[in-house]
Structures are given as structure tokens and as C-alpha cells.
Amino acid sequence: MIFFKQIKWNSILLSALVALLGLIVLCNPSAAAVSVCLLIGWFLIIGGASTLFAYFNFKSRGILAVSLIQLIPGIIIVIMPDILVNFVSLFLGLIVLIYALANIREAKENRELGYKHWYFGLAVGIITLMLSVVVLLYPFESASAVMMLAGAAMLIHGVSNIISIIVISNDMKKMM
């Protein structure tokens, strides 16, 4: 019984931390986006440095190349994290743009085939096209919006987990 209580309280604590992290990300999404980029940059630097140490032991050009492939982008990302944020946002913007154009083309084909509700696809395509243009014009701000969605998801997940744990715990007490 003590074991289950410990699991319950550990789960509640972890869920509360997830909810708190979600709230922090929700309140300051641009700082969270930059922090994620910095974390990626430092992982690349640490990985590149450890690979560089392996190069000194084995003297292989392949190991040196891998080390530099990790170190150089890692250093650039740590010095200028906005570059990675903008790059990811631009990449996502291009994907959404392609999806929007495909929706518009499909709606046109559906109209030519005589489908009655072809305009729903056209509306979705136009809205998606407008969103992709916004993402492409304002990549850093759109990254903040994505981080806000992630923060909201973490907050909701953490709170719902706490509620579920409490409800399940109360049900188990009633059954015993």
C-alpha cells in the first residue's frame, strides 16, 4: 500500500511539474523557443567535443569530420539561436504552403468533377495559404505561437493527469 501511495505522489509531482513547465512556456513562448535552440546547440557542442576527443585517440579523418559537423552548427546555434528558430519556422511555413496549394488544386478539380461541396476544400486551402504566408513573413513570431500551443498542451496534460490520479486513487480507496 505504501508503494502505491509513493507512486501516486510521484505521479502527481511529475504532472504538476509538467503543468508548471507548460505555464512557463505559455507565458514566455519566445524565450522557450530560444531555450530549446540553445539546448540543441549545447548538445551538438558536447557531442562534437566528445567525438573530437575520440579523434585524438584514433586519428581517423571520418571521426574528425563528424566532430566538425557537430561542433560548427552547435557553436553557431549557441551564438545565434534565432537562426535555428527562423529556419524551423520557414521550413514549416513552406510545408504548410505546399499543403495549401494542394488543397486549392484539389478543390478546383472537385468543382470540375461536379462535387457539390467543393468550396469547403477551397476555403480550407485559402485559410491555410494565408497562415503559411504569415509564417513565412514572420518566422520568429510563428515559432512563438507553436511554443504557446505546446505550453497549453503541457498545462492541460499536467492538470488532467493530476485529476485522473486523484479520481483513480479515490476509486481504489472505495473498492478496498
* 82 vs 139: CA distance, rounded Å: 10
**Contact call for residues 85 and 62 (beta carbons, < 8 A):** no
Whole-angstrom CA distances from 98 to 29, 93, 174, 176 are 26, 9, 55, 57
Q: Which domain holds residue 6?
A: 2-175
pTM attached to this predicted model: 0.60
Total number of domains in the chain = 1
Query: In a structure prediction context, what are the per-residue pLDDT tens digits for the chain, which is 176 residues long?
Result: 677 778 888 888 988 998 988 898 888 888 888 888 899 899 999 999 998 888 888 777 788 888 999 999 999 999 999 888 878 778 878 888 898 899 899 989 888 988 888 888 899 889 989 988 888 888 877 778 878 877 888 889 889 888 888 887 887 778 77
